[in-house]
Amino acid sequence: MITNLSGGLPAERECFFAEKPDREVRDAVNVWVEDVNGTFAMRVGIEHVAEEWGTPELWLDIAFPDGRVISGREYGASGPGGDPRSKRCGPLEYRCIEPFRHWQATFDPHPVRELTTQQLRMQDIPPAPPMREVAFEFEFFPAVPPLISGTLTAASRAMMSGEQGSFISPRYEQLCRARGWLSIDGKRQEFEANLLRIKRQGVRKFEGFWGHCWMSAIFPSGKGFGVNTFPPRGDGEATFNEGFIFDGSGALIPARAVEIPWMKDLQVGDEPLRLVLETDDGRRETIEGRTYVNCRSVHNATSFEPPANWPIVQQSHATYRWDGETTTGMIERSTVPSQMDLGGAPP
């Protein structure tokens, strides 16, 4: 069965804006990287909004199962511009080599602070943490058709056109294979990894957001899954719930989550996970997992002022099991503080 890795999107959708877009428009690229052996994981991205066009924002977390997290949040120069297949923020550059086939990320040697998952959990960030010199380069190759948010089902299309779609914004995500190297304080390691890339262009709103669960992974056989869903609402109205199953070839099979591992507390790792996806024809697939490192998100205080009762966000990396296979993948969740057992952690 033929697999269309563009999902029908034109090659131009892989390009970045060559010029400053309209007010509030975002031009962002993010990837989640999990070493296939689970020795480390990364989340690295560039958030570029029109109001800060000369200085986009860099997000970097390199997390280890022992609880270390090399974590950077800073603004950087956007580079000379003019090349729609490249986006730079300080030491980080993304480059599209071939649309929907081949991308590259490079990070020039640069000091980044080292924290721990416990410090992140308690929001206890020391004023002068240890600094590590980080560099990396990796290539990634799409392996699954892209999920274009809000297109798989009639219900998700309806949600995407309303308030809940504004939390997601126009975007697509795609499971990939990756290979490259990572250097920390001059110690270099080669790696092969699973990767989820997200490309976002448009306006994104945050006011009124109340939480989510987002999971995705690709397996050695080529099978994969993904889901993004919001918790039940107090008013009983329907919530966004869009997922897919990929059988290794062909197209994404639309699905919805019917059993979801909502975040109820703040663990730093070793957390069991269970996701059940159901397709329109009643097929059910159960994916079991366990996180190997959980990182509470920390914002750049100069770029984001959370609204009242803003959900706590946690990015995690996990080992998943499905139909006799094992792999590494991602999970990001958020919950409003009033619905969590914080165990002494600040809201």
Q: What is the mean pLDDT of residues 40-44?
A: 98
Whichever domain contains 271, its CATH number is 2.40.370.10
Q: With 80 as the cut, is the pLDDT of residue 73 above it?
A: yes
Comparing 344 with 207, which gets the higher pLDDT? Answer: 344
Would you say residue 344 lies in a domain? no
Looking at the domain assignment, is residue 11 inside a domain?
A: no
Of residues 83 and 259, more confidence is placed in 259
What integer pLDDT is reported at residue 303 of this predicted model?
55
Task: Give a yes or no: residue 48 inside a domain.
Answer: yes
**pLDDT tens across 143-185, in order?**
999 999 999 999 999 888 888 878 898 999 999 999 999 999 9
pLDDT in tens, 211-223: 999 999 999 999 9
DSSP 8-state symbol, 231: P
Residue 138 lies in a domain: yes
Alpha carbons 44 and 60: distance in angstroms, whole number = 4
The SS3 of residue 14 is helix
Q: What angle do CA 274, 276, 280 make, to 5 degrees?
A: 170
pLDDT at 56 (0 to 100): 95
Q: 262: domain range?
A: 21-339
Among the residue ranges 70-74, 232-236, 288-292, 312-316, the one predicted with the least confidence is: 232-236
Positive or negative torsion for Cα 304, 56, 33, 1: positive
pLDDT in tens, 106-157: 999 999 999 999 999 999 999 999 999 999 999 999 999 999 999 999 999 9
Residue 220 counted as domain residue: yes
Count the neighbouring beta carbons within 10 Å of the beta carbon of residue 89.
24
Let me know: does 147 contact 174? Beta carbons within 8 Å.
yes
Residue 250 domain-assigned? yes
How many domains does the chain divide into?
1
- What's the pLDDT at 38? 97
Q: Is residue 227 part of a domain?
A: yes
The pLDDT of residue 344 is above 60: yes
The pLDDT, as a whole number, for residue 308 is 72
Please say whether the beta carbons of 31 and 140 come within 8 A. yes
- What pLDDT was estimated at residue 40? 98
- Between CA 95 and CA 103 the distance in angstroms is 6
Is there a domain that residue 5 lies in? no
Give the model confidence (pLDDT) of 249-306 as tens digits.
999 999 999 999 999 999 999 999 999 999 999 999 999 999 999 999 987 655 566 7
For the segment 177-194, the average pLDDT, to the nearest whole number, is: 98
